[in-house]
Amino acid sequence: MRRLCLNQMNKFGLILVYSTFSLIFSSHAFGIPTGVTITGEIQNIKVSEPSNPWSVGTITVSGIDVVIPANLVIQMPVQRYTLQELFSSAPSACKAVRQTGLARIDTCFKGQRGSVVTILANRQNSGEVIAGSVKIEKAPELLMGIVTYINYLDGYFRLNGIANDSESGVMIRINDPTSRHTIQSGKGCATLAASAVNCSPDERFPVDNENYTAAFMTGVPMCIPSMRLGGKRKVAADSDGFGDPFCPKWARQPDPIINTIPDESAFNLVPIVLGESLEALGSFEVVTGDDGTTVKFFSAHTVRVHSRIMTSPGNPDYMTYNLVEWDMAGYTNQRVRLRLIGFTSLTDSQLDIYALHIDRSTNQAVEFPLASTVGNPLVINKGLPPFGGSIFKIIFDVDFIAPIKANFSPCVNLARAGFNGGNLVTGGCPGGGVVDLSENFAILAPVSRDIIGRTRNKWINAIGASHDILGNDTPNGQYLSPVEIAPPDPLETNVNAVQSSFLFTGLPWNLDRRLGPLGCGKVVGDCISGSGVRLNPFPWDGGIDPRRDPLNPAAGSVPAASANDILSYVSGQPPLFLPGNVLPLPAAANSGIGVRAVVTIPAKQCVIQ
State the Cα–Cα distance between residues 505 and 579, nearest whole angstrom: 18
Whole-angstrom CA distances from 420 to 4, 184, 258 are 62, 49, 38
- In the chain, the number of structural domains is 4
CB 222 within 8 A of CB 272: yes
> Could you tell me if 444 and 549 lie in one domain?
no
Q: Are residues 231 and 283 in the same domain?
A: yes
* Rounded CA separation 522/514 (Å): 11
Residue 5 is predicted with a pLDDT of: 34
Please tell me whether residues 424 and 502 are part of one structural domain: no
Nearest residue to 318 via CA among 180, 219, 209, 213:
219
Q: What is the 3-state secondary structure (H, E, C) of 499-566?
A: CCCCCHHHCHHHHCHHHCCCCCCCCCCCCCCHHHHCCECCCCCCCCCCCECCCCCCCECCCHHHHHHH
Q: Are residues 305 and 397 in the same domain?
A: no
pLDDT along the chain (609 residues), means of 10: 31 28 33 89 96 95 96 96 96 92 88 89 93 96 97 97 97 97 91 68 95 97 96 93 94 74 95 96 87 89 95 97 94 91 96 94 90 97 86 96 93 93 74 87 94 97 97 97 88 76 93 91 82 92 81 64 89 79 79 38 33
464 in a domain, yes or no? yes
Please tell me the distance from the alpha carbon of residue 372 to that of residue 349, in angstroms, as a whole number: 10
Residue-range definition of the domain harbouring residue 420: 319-486
pLDDT value, residue 528: 83
For residues 209 and 252, membership in a common domain is answered with yes
- 460 and 330 share a domain? yes
Where among 451, 486, 521 does a domain terminate?
Answer: 486
Q: Are residues 481 and 370 in the same domain?
A: yes
Considering the domain architecture, whether residues 441 and 410 belong to the same structural domain is answered as: yes
Whether 374 is covered by a domain: the verdict is yes
Q: How many residues does the chain have?
A: 609
Q: Answer with the one of 309, 338, 367 that is the final residue of a domain.
A: 309
User: What are the residues facing 400 on neighbouring strands?
Assistant: none
Domain identity same for 279 and 376: no
Measuring CA to CA, which residue among 506, 446, 524, 519 is closest to residue 70? 519
